[in-house]
Amino acid sequence: MNPTALLLVDESPAVIMSLKRALASESCRVVSARSAAAAFTILAREQIAGVVCGRQLSDMGGTAFLTQVGERHAEVARVLLVGAADFEAIVLAVNCGAVGKLVTVPWRDSHLREIVRQALGTQADCVNGCRIVDQLSTAIWNLAAGNTGAAARRPRRARSATQPAQPTGTAPRRISGPR
């Protein structure tokens, strides 16, 4: 399977078609779903690198869906489509950490492509960084324990190398509305 598959999720077939048209020139395979339930089925059976999701789905809100995607599939980049007037949705999406990028509707195709590339690149950098941290941690642990042989390894952490490490000592980003 192609690990650079992109999942488009929106209840509107017209939006899905517009997204597919805008992303047709990209080098990733594009799959789509019209509900959160269908999207979770796809996420469970395929390797998905990123999700582009509308603000409201037939079975749940886009922010809630992307929050669950982040909890279940931390390695997946998440992009939310929002209307320019959806200030509350934007604040909620950013404050709860549900999304990595936002795209306003209507979008310019070139802007959408750039945002998707950035989201996928940032997520890939994070996954690669986690692998490097795991390798360095093992090397440091082996040195500290006086282990030089390949057989001596520190126990693996519970999270996999593809799950980004949670930042330590950093507060979540918060934005607030007009006062």
Q: pLDDT digit string (tens) for 72-88?
A: 998 899 999 987 677 77
Q: What is the count of structural domains for the chain?
A: 1
Q: Which residue has the higher pLDDT, 165 or 16?
A: 16
pTM of the complete model: 0.62
- Give SS3 for 28: coil
Task: Report the distance separating Cα 158 and Cα 141, nearest Å.
Answer: 16
Q: Where residue 57 falls among pLDDT bands split at 50, 70, 90? A: very high
88 assigned to some structural domain? yes
**CA atoms within 13 Å, Cβ hemisphere of 62:** 29
Domain containing 20 — which CATH number?
3.40.50.2300
In a domain, 66, yes or no: yes
Q: Is residue 78 part of a domain?
A: yes
Query: Does residue 45 lie in a domain region?
Result: yes
- State the pLDDT at residue 143: 64
Banded model confidence at residue 170, pLDDT cuts 50, 70, 90:
very low
Domain that holds residue 29: 5-125
Instruction: Provide the pLDDT confidence category of residue 34 given band limits of 50, 70 and 90.
Output: very high
Residue-wise pLDDT for 115-146, tens only, equals: 888 887 754 444 444 555 555 556 665 666 66
Tokens linked to 17? 């078609």
**Six token digits for residue 85:** 């007037």
User: How many helices (H) and strands (E) in the chain?
Assistant: 5, 5
Please give the C-alpha separations between residue 166 and each of 16, 40, 100, 101, in angstroms, as whole numbers: 32, 23, 14, 18
- Expressed in percent and rounded to 5, the helix, strand and coil fractions of the chain are 45, 15, 40
